Amino acid sequence: MIKAILMFNNHGKPRLSKFYEHYTKDTEQQIIRETFHLVSKRDENVCNFLEGGMLIGGSDYKLIYRHYATLYFVFCVDSSESELGILDLIQVFVETLDKCFENVCELDLIFHVDKVHNILAEMVMGGMVLETNMNEIITQVDAQNKMEKSEAGIAGAPARAVSAVKNMKLPEMPRNINIGDINIKVPNLPSFK
Amino acid sequence: MALKIVKGSIDRMFDKNLQDLVRGIRNHKDDEAKYISTCIDEIKQELKQDNIAVKANAVCKLTYLQMLGYDVSWAAFNIVEVMSSSKFTYKRIGYLAASQCFHESTDVIMLTTNQIRKDLSSPNQYDTGVALTGLSCFVTPDLARDLANDIMTLMSHTKPYIRKKAVLIMYKVFLKYPESLRPAFPRLKEKLEDPDPGVQSAAVNVICELARRNPKNYLSLAPLFFKLMTSSTNNWVLIKIIKLFGALTPLEPRLGKKLIEPLTNLIHSTSAMSLLYECVNTVIAVLISLSSGMPNHSASIQLCVQKLRILIEDSDQNLKYLGLLAMSKILKTHPKSVQSHKDLILQCLDDKDESIRLRALDLLYGMVSKKNLMEIVKKLMLHVDKAEGTTYRDELLTKIIDICSQSNYQYITNFEWYISILVELTRLEGTRHGHLIASQMLDVAIRVKAIRVFAVAQMATLLDNAHLLTGNMQRNGICEVLYAAAWICGEFSEHLENPMQTLEAMLRPKVATLPGHIQAVYVQNAAKLFATVLKSQEGNTDGTVTQDTSQLMIERLPVFVQSANLEVQERASCILQLVKYIQKLQQKDVEVAEEVSALFAGELNPVAPKAQKKVPVPEGLDLDTWINEPPSESESEDEQPKAIFTKEEPKHSRARHTEVDEKELARRREARKQEQANNPFYIKSSPSSQKVYQETPGVDHIPVIQIDLTVPLKVPGLPMSDQYVKLEEERRQKERAEKKKKDKKKRKEKRSGRGKKHDSGPESEEDITPAHMVDIVTEEMPENALPSDDDEKDPNDPHKALDIDLDKPLADSEKIPVRSHRAAEAAKSPVEDRDADGIATQLPKKKHGKEKREEKKKKDKDRERKKSKDEKKKKKHKSEEKDGDLLGAEVDEPVVQSEEPSQASEPPTSNSAEVSDLDFWLSNAPVPSNIQEVPKVAAAEAASAAEVISGGAQDSEPDEPKDAEMEATKPSKHKKKKQKKEKEDKEKKKKKHHHYHHHSDGVGEESVQNGTVEEEEEPLPSMSNYCLLAENSYIKMVYDIQGNLQDGSQVVVSVIFENKCDSFLKSMEFNVLDSLNSKLQRPEGSGPHDSLAVPFQLPPGVSNEARYVFTVQSIVMPQKLKGTLTFIVKTEESSTHEKLDFKLHFTCTSYLITTPCYSDAFAKLLESADLKSSSVRLEGVNMPFHHLLARICFHHHFSVVERIDSCASMYSRSIQGHHVCLLVKTSGQTVSIDAKCDEPMLLGNVLDEIKQTFSQC
């Protein structure tokens, strides 16, 4: 079982948090902080598994994480998950994000956290791995987005226009924090599939 | 209308959307909180509007704020509104918000039930998908109960996308509503073989999660998983299955033997590291479960260790980490093979990665021996010195202590060394583990009597130098050791060289800065020392020393009397008064020493930590009875309107009630703790005050100033641990030399030359004798302590409720309640329509089952055995009445659905009874698919498969190849052997072509058909259950009857048809004349006398198998059914119509199902009074006892519960759940069988049949 999936940046700002077990919102924030604290002080070239974390888990649980440019992707899993499998799952997740957002960068995830959630929902459901095939995930996500667009139809047009205008005004929107190396392949890990 | 929409969307343009919110927050970095609070106000306004788009936008923003840690629970109802939007866009937003914010105590959840049900049955698959995803995050027990049936229906949805989600969510449903597990399980099992790999993977996932917690209930699935493992190519699925096997093997060692081979192959062949790693892991689990000493397996261990070494040596830190992790598992059972890689592991201790260092430390734990303990600890001590960061250093410290203290200080040969190590560890600045060192010191000093003199001396030095330890007291956990030091010096003060000096040290004013609980120990033990001094001075006429001591006490104690700590104050003032009194007496020259030391007389013995728990409850004491009358609960109930709630189903509520109580208790405990923490008047346990200090965040960051303590701590008389290493080395050398001498002497005496190997080999563990003869006092346990080991089970674990026997046939009461609306509503509600459609289109079978059930009910009335059915009906009526009284519109009706009979009524497909016959599978090497496919494959193959069944069973020796598949991978040596064997087999086949259905007399053949008989001592004659049904010149029929696990009223008859003539047989039709009690199940629409077509044709010389399901009412009596087989014999010229009559004999045995039973459960069963007993004696049985048991197991479907010498208990269960217990005893040629069963008639008949079996042989 996956107990939680967390994404935060190098400064510990949460970008996505998905808990598959109930915690109070304070505990959730504490967990995010604690996890960041644990993960951020690790060097680049050390292993991606981490035991401990007082709040979440216990001895049966592990933190499995990957660090891509400015973002940390952390999965908290119990012993029924394969460690290397989860590492690959993170890779699949990131690659999927990359496909869906076309060269994903942190800003995409900041502004479209709902979309990230929707993509994640096609991969992991209720703490269990639902789908690991990237193409299948993208197909389903695209199909749903298409439905959304068709529903918006004419009524959605003005809103879309406004948001386009809003985006144009902002110098921030250009992908100035592009994390080009998000596509780095896993070193020494033969492809999982 | 259109205008309104446009207007709405124009309004919306100026609302903030999620992007605007995020942007805003980023632009207000300085006053983020203020900005967000204005946003929340805006959102509240938006939520008040009618436009659902505006609401959805607001909810979307709330979801984001929730992630940032803002409370959005107030919007729960709005979330429900958005969820119920008909547009997918908004629905998705709503469900996402719900999945992030809702939990069990969100009260609006109960409003969602109908909405979710509607979405689940939506024609749009994405509506359903979104609802399932959302539900998986916030499912509650109520939702699970109400929706279980809907979700179960979705498991057979046409779209794999929905199927896989429905399958996955079932796990959550099981957790919340355990009653659904049994009814849903057959379908879940079915999904293991779903054509879509995603669905299959989901099913594997769910079953693996279930089995991880309660593995023994899933053992019967092993054959199925084995098949999946050998056929699947999806690494995700493979990993899950392999992990599952890892959980199953400890329960069934035979499974392990079967697994080793394919797993080894996978290890060799796979390129995916993740799969390789899991395979290694499971092989390790298998090896652990198997008893050692099997020659083949040392190779497997070597393979694993070798692969792991490759992982550890890899440059990828992840692989290194996992390698070490797996290595630590091997370590537990095969320490020797790991120990040879000590170099590698010690090397990992120097790794820059902390995770890896920690793993390596774990491994060290198991690698120590008496021989290398000192060396390893020395190395660790070096690491302690070098280590940066307190956490890792603390970890090192605990590991050193763990390693040394493991299994009762097994590896410590020299306790003086250990004490010095502990003393050295006290130099650690800023460690959190002062109390750990302290407890070790206490433990060793108390339990190792021989070391006390040394320990006391060391502790006295520690006390003397206490100021060095406590230099920076505020954050120093190490001062805990002073607690131990003071206590040891006080308690064993008779060993002190200079008690006065120590007393002086303990009463220094600086002590008053120590934490309270330590001061208290100081004061108390100062008194002990005082007593010792008095006693030692007794008889000494010069009273100055005693006078001085008293004076010292009187001068120093007042500091403690003023202490803020109650404990210190109380003890100090007591002792102060005592000393004053003693001083008075001393001045009068009264001898007081004896009386004073009597205060502290008596030896303290260590008590085991679990001792209190294990005190047995004295006979006649019932802890659960009330001492006084229980307080009446009526008061609270009186306040509620009684009429509505009293009729709630008692069955469900009871189970949940206890759980609630436990939760409630935990909650109250928590609340009490909270209250105590906030209550300034509550005296907290003493160490807490200090812990609070250490746990304050940020402490770790304060740079630690290393104080060089080495100089002062090397006070004369304080030996360094390194000395001991040298000393030990010398000592051992000496011993070895002496031993050699002795050996030489011996050799000279013997002159046989055999003794040579003694001197060259490395010294073994036993050679090392401890430096001092140490008497380790064992911890005390209460007399006749209970040997229970279940202390550590967590009663709150939700998986406990899922520990359900899945093989038991389903009872009517267990069916998942199906929602049906009241008739009046049904016509109107579109939901209902859709529901009905769904059921009708998806499962025509279901209707079939329903009809059948109704038919059955009608006929029931005519039956003799109608009583039980009627009772059930009554129950149903009752529950219906109750439901009718409930407020809601829903009526839970447990009657409607029953898939199982319909599933089982497809005769020729794979049969679950056979698959789940685990014992059969485990003991017979051939792959189950062979057996399953019998009806499909050509008859020749079937025959050879049958051949393999008997032939394959020959290799009961573990190192022989076990099945056809494995055989291919075996080295050629084995192949040759096998080929030979095959030849033999072929010859045999020629000789007796049809031998498989009779008890073959082949002497060399053994059979472990029923694996419940353990290791075979002697070969068993082969057996077969197929007996002749009928035969003529054209055709021969043999049959076997098996009970159906899923349905208590069904048996499956497997008939093998064999063409004996040279012509082609076709259009075979099988018909049976139904009796009142037993009926052949015919497909829908056919009449009660129609015959069933045999689904194949038979070319000359070929045989094939078909299966027929029979419904049986009463199973207590054997019965016979008359039947006819008609067929057309086709030759080149002509074809003739032929007919063969037969009689199907349903023995009572055929209603029994081999069911494993644990001896404790068996004992409990026997104790229960409702079993009737009966017995039978067999004379002149001339066969070994285990053959006899095997026969009973095989022919009569029993399993051996326990076997002691010539006595065995056996168990079986009928398809209707009757327990049958046997006690078989043998003496000479007489066998007596005592039997018990809850149905005497059934028992009598079974015994008769057993008797008959043995009279035939």
Cα–Cα distance measured from residue B785 to residue B772, given in angstroms and rounded to the nearest whole number: 32
Of A93-102, A176-185, B272-281, give the lowest mean pLDDT range: A176-185
Model confidence pLDDT, tens digit, residues B954-971 = 444 444 444 444 444 444
Which of B388, B415, B387, B321 minimizes the C-alpha distance to B360?
A: B321
Res B766 pLDDT > 50: no
Which residues 13-32 in chain A show a CB within 8 A of chain B? 14, 16-18, 20, 22, 25-26, 28-29
Does A55 reach chain B within 8 Å, measured CB to CB?
no
Model confidence pLDDT, tens digit, residues A112-143 = 899 999 999 999 999 999 998 899 999 999 99
Nearest to B126 among A17, A46, A147 (CB): A147
The token duo for B1072 is 């049976």
Model confidence pLDDT, tens digit, residues A136-187 = 999 999 999 998 888 877 556 666 666 666 655 444 443 433 344 444 333 3
Residue at A104 is within a domain: yes
Q: Mind spelling out the 3-state secondary structure of B429-440?
A: CCCCCHHHHHHH
Does A162 reach chain B within 8 Å, measured CB to CB?
yes
Average pLDDT score over residue span B30-58: 89
Give the count of domains, chain A.
1
Residue at A42 is within a domain: yes
Cα–Cα distance measured from residue B1016 to residue B1005, given in angstroms and rounded to the nearest whole number: 13
Cβ contacts (< 8 Å) between A42 and chain B: which residues?
354
pLDDT, greater one: A172 or B1049:
B1049
Q: Cβ(B905)–Cβ(B1109) under 8 Å?
A: yes
pLDDT at B1192: 82
The token duo for A121 is 């929902």
Cα–Cα distance measured from residue B383 to residue B659, given in angstroms and rounded to the nearest whole number: 49
Model confidence pLDDT, tens digit, residues B863-880 = 545 444 444 444 445 444
Residue at A22 is within a domain: yes
With an 8 Å Cβ cutoff, are B100 and A48 in contact? no
State how far residue A163 is from chain B, nearest Cα, in angstroms: 8
Q: Which residue of A has its CA nearest to B355?
A: A50
With an 8 Å Cβ cutoff, are A45 and B317 in contact? yes
Nearest to A114 among B96, B272, B320 (CB): B96
Model confidence pLDDT, tens digit, residues B360-392 = 888 887 778 788 888 888 888 888 887 766 777
- 10 Å Cβ neighbour count for B1219? 20
pLDDT band at B676 (very low <50, low <70, confident <90, very high): low
pLDDT, greater one: B747 or B146:
B146
Cα–Cα distance measured from residue B747 to residue B737, given in angstroms and rounded to the nearest whole number: 15
Cβ contacts (< 8 Å) between A139 and chain B: which residues?
none
With an 8 Å Cβ cutoff, are A29 and B69 in contact? yes
Its pTM surpasses 0.90:
no
Long-range pairs for A50-59 at CB < 8 Å and ≥24 separation? Answer: A50/B355, A51/B355, A51/B358, A55/A27, A55/A30, A55/A31, A56/A3, A56/A4, A56/A31, A57/A3
Cβ contacts (< 8 Å) between A127 and chain B: which residues?
136
- 10 Å Cβ neighbour count for B761? 9
DSSP string, B1188-1249: HHHHHHHHH--EEEEEETTEEEEEEEETT--EEEEEEEEETTEEEEEEEES-HHHHHHHHHH
pLDDT, greater one: B774 or A191:
B774
A–B: how many Cβ contacts below 8 A? 186
Cβ contacts (< 8 Å) between B202 and chain A: which residues?
128, 130
Which of B411, B418, B341 minimizes the C-alpha distance to B381?
A: B418
Cα–Cα distance measured from residue B531 to residue B579, given in angstroms and rounded to the nearest whole number: 10
pLDDT at B757: 42
Q: Which residue of B has its CA nearest to A29?
A: B69
Cβ contacts (< 8 Å) between B20 and chain A: which residues?
166
CATH classification at residue A70: 3.30.450.60
State how far residue A94 is from chain B, nearest Cα, in angstroms: 18
Residue at A157 is within a domain: no
Q: Give residue A118's domain range.
A: 2-149
Q: Is B638 exposed, middle or buried (0-12, 13-18, 19+ CB in 10 A)?
A: exposed
Nearest to A148 among B89, B201, B277 (CB): B89
Model confidence pLDDT, tens digit, residues B482-530 = 888 889 988 888 888 888 888 888 888 888 888 888 889 988 998 888 8
Cβ contacts (< 8 Å) between B352 and chain A: which residues?
43, 45-46
Cβ contacts (< 8 Å) between B237 and chain A: which residues?
none
With an 8 Å Cβ cutoff, are B17 and A170 in contact? no
pLDDT band at B295 (very low <50, low <70, confident <90, very high): low
Average pLDDT score over residue span B1171-1198: 81
With an 8 Å Cβ cutoff, are A125 and B165 in contact? yes
Cβ contacts (< 8 Å) between A87 and chain B: which residues?
318
State how far residue A27 is from chain B, nearest Cα, in angstroms: 9
Q: Cβ(B1111)–Cβ(B1099) under 8 Å?
A: no
pLDDT band at B885 (very low <50, low <70, confident <90, very high): very low
Model confidence pLDDT, tens digit, residues B974-1008 = 444 445 554 554 444 444 444 444 443 433 334 33
Cβ contacts (< 8 Å) between B96 and chain A: which residues?
114, 117-118, 121
pLDDT at B837: 43
pLDDT at B888: 40
Res B653 pLDDT > 50: no
For testing the chain B interface, which of A128, A134, A136, A176 should be mutated: the one with the most B CBs within 10 Å? A128
Nearest to B277 among A46, A51, A84 (CB): A84
Nearest to A47 among B130, B164, B320 (CB): B320
- 10 Å Cβ neighbour count for B253? 13
Residue at A168 is within a domain: no
For testing the chain A interface, which of B14, B57, B79, B136 should be mutated: the one with the most A CBs within 10 Å? B136
Cβ contacts (< 8 Å) between B321 and chain A: which residues?
47, 49
Does A49 reach chain B within 8 Å, measured CB to CB?
yes
Residue at A155 is within a domain: no
Q: Which residue of A has its CA nearest to B3?
A: A155
For testing the chain B interface, which of A11, A27, A82 should be mutated: the one with the most B CBs within 10 Å? A82
Q: Which residue of A has its CA nearest to B5?
A: A155
CA-CA-CA-CA torsion sign (B745, B747, B748, B750)? positive
Residue at A158 is within a domain: no
Average pLDDT score over residue span B663-679: 65
pLDDT at B1043: 75
Residue at A26 is within a domain: yes
Does A132 reach chain B within 8 Å, measured CB to CB?
yes
pLDDT at B760: 41
State how far residue A76 is from chain B, nearest Cα, in angstroms: 16
- 10 Å Cβ neighbour count for B339? 16
Which of B1132, B1203, B911 minimizes the C-alpha distance to B1040?
A: B911
Cα–Cα distance measured from residue B1233 to residue B383, given in angstroms and rounded to the nearest whole number: 68
Report the phi/psi class of residue B1211: left, alpha or beta, with left for phi > 0 and alpha for psi in -120 to 50.
beta
pLDDT band at B164 (very low <50, low <70, confident <90, very high): very high
pLDDT at B1257: 64
